[in-house]
Amino acid sequence: MIQSLKKITNIFEKEKIRYCLIGGLAVSFYAEPRSTFDIDILALWPEPQEIFFDILERNSVKFNYIKSSLADPVGDIIKAVIDNVSIDIIMARFPHEIDFVNNAIEVTIEEKEKFKIISLYDLIAQKLLAGGPKDLFDVAMLLKYNQKNISLDSLKLHLQKYKINLEPFLKFISIYEKDKGLF
């Protein structure tokens, strides 16, 4: 999977396409590793988007383009396959998604490979905005594994930029913690 990730990010770097890893790989970086079968990338696609398609074709990347409606919270996606690994490239189209890409940090994986990954606070924001059961579980794990790296006050302030209130989630976690011993 890392080799497929390296191939696509090398294309992005060469073509000066800004991106960040999101999804299961990002959660695994900040919390307990978990199995994931695909690579999720949030990217700032060049305009017009046909330029991006041409870049992928020139680099022999097989892909399908899935156009979304404006009401779709995920947005346009390119589903690519490199070395039998599925890669979802999501177009950053909303202001918060553009922020997530611009705030990405460079990390080293497997002691040598460098990639851009969504910041911890932005990953929490992205997961809370998505709001699915798996996303909320991911937020709980991110908070658990990063207790020393997270200031709840600064996280709440960060989330306010995106009109996200952390309090209901924290209340749920405290109830669940007492009942199930999550933390």
Give the mean model confidence (pLDDT) for residues 148-168.
92
Residue 179: per-residue pLDDT: 57
3-state secondary structure of 107: strand
Residues 92-147: tens digit of each pLDDT: 989 999 999 999 999 998 788 899 999 999 999 999 999 888 998 899 999 999 99
Residue 183: per-residue pLDDT: 52
**Where do the domains of the chain lie?**
1-118, 120-183
| Element housing 117 (H / E) | strand 113-117
- The CATH class that applies to domain 1-118 reads alpha beta
User: 36: which strand partners?
Assistant: none
Q: How many CA atoms lie within 13 A of 23 on its CB side?
A: 17
Average pLDDT over the chain, rounded to whole?
90
**What is the per-residue DSSP string for 157-183?**
HHHHTTT---HHHHHHHHHHHHHH---
Give the mean model confidence (pLDDT) for residues 160-178.
81
Predicted TM-score (pTM) of the model is: 0.90
Geometric angle at alpha carbon 113, from 138 and 158, rounded to 5°: 40
Q: 68: Cβ–Cβ under 8 A, 6 or more apart, which residues? A: 74, 75, 76, 77
